[in-house]
Amino acid sequence: MSTKPLLCLVFVLGIALVGSGCEMTGTQKGTAIGAAGGAAAGAGIGAAFGAPGLGAAIGAGGGGLIGALIGDQAEKKKQDKEKAELEQQLQEKDQQLEAAEQSASHEGKTFVQGHYEYVKKKQWVDTTKTERVWVPERVEGDRVIEGHYEEKPIPSGHWQEYEEKIWIPDHYE
């Protein structure tokens, strides 16, 4: 059997499948293209060994499998892209609705953009000092405590006012 008619038949079938009016998934298109290409390559290789039909059958099976895997990956990428676009659209719609709700709930109020403000604050400054004081001899019960020096704190301090720079976020007044 001559390989030319077989090759022509394989190409015509492949083109007919891919170019047909029916809707095919990426996996189906990949399978058809892979099977057609594999059959053609297999027929050519099989013709060299004297069995173009067997070569075409093996090539069609292997090419169809590889084409299906490639087509499936392409289909998954396409679906992921469409999903990402839909999620983006939903996110934009949510933001628009949120903005509309905020503007409706804040009617009659003035929008104030985020800014820094200086706020007055107070802080206790401790200026407690220790002083060395002589403690005279004394008797407590049946014990005699000799005179000695002790460190005694002398409490003191004052309030200090200062300004602190703080961030005020966007708000309505």
Boundary residue ending a domain (104, 124, 152): 104
- pLDDT for residue 94: 87
SS3 165: strand
Number of domains in the chain: 2
Query: Which pLDDT tens digit goes with each residue over 22-80?
Result: 677 777 888 888 888 888 888 888 878 888 888 888 888 888 888 888 888 888 998 89
Residue 109 lies in a domain: no
Does residue 136 register a pLDDT over 60? yes
What's the half-sphere exposure (Cβ side, CA atoms, 13 Å) at 27? 6
* 38, amino acid identity: G
Assigned domain for 125 exists: yes
Over residues 141-158, the pLDDT tens digits come to: 999 999 999 999 988 899
Inside any domain, residue 39: yes
- Rounded mean pLDDT of 110-136? 90
Q: What was the pLDDT predicted at 34? A: 82
Structure tokens at 127: 């200026």
By residue range, what is the domain housing residue 133?
114-168
Q: Quick one: pLDDT at residue 14?
A: 60
**What is the Cα–Cα distance from 66 to 71, expressed in whole angstroms?**
9
Whether the predicted pLDDT of 93 surpasses 80: yes
pTM of structure: 0.41
Query: Are residues 124 and 96 located together in one domain of the fold?
Result: no
pLDDT mean across residues, the chain: 82
DSSP bridge partners of 172: 111
Burial class of residue 17, CB neighbours in 10 A (0-12, 13-18, 19+): middle
**Claim to verify: residue 125 and residue 92 sit in the same structural domain:** no
Terminus-to-terminus CA distance in the chain, angstroms? 90
- Domain boundary pick from 104, 135, 155: 104
pLDDT tens track for 11-30: 656 665 555 556 777 778 88
Residues 72 and 127 both lie in one domain: no
Judge if 66 and 125 occupy the same domain: no
**Residues near 121 by Cβ (< 8 Å), separated by ≥ 6?**
161, 162, 163, 164
In a domain, 53, yes or no: yes
> What is the identity of the amino acid at 10?
V
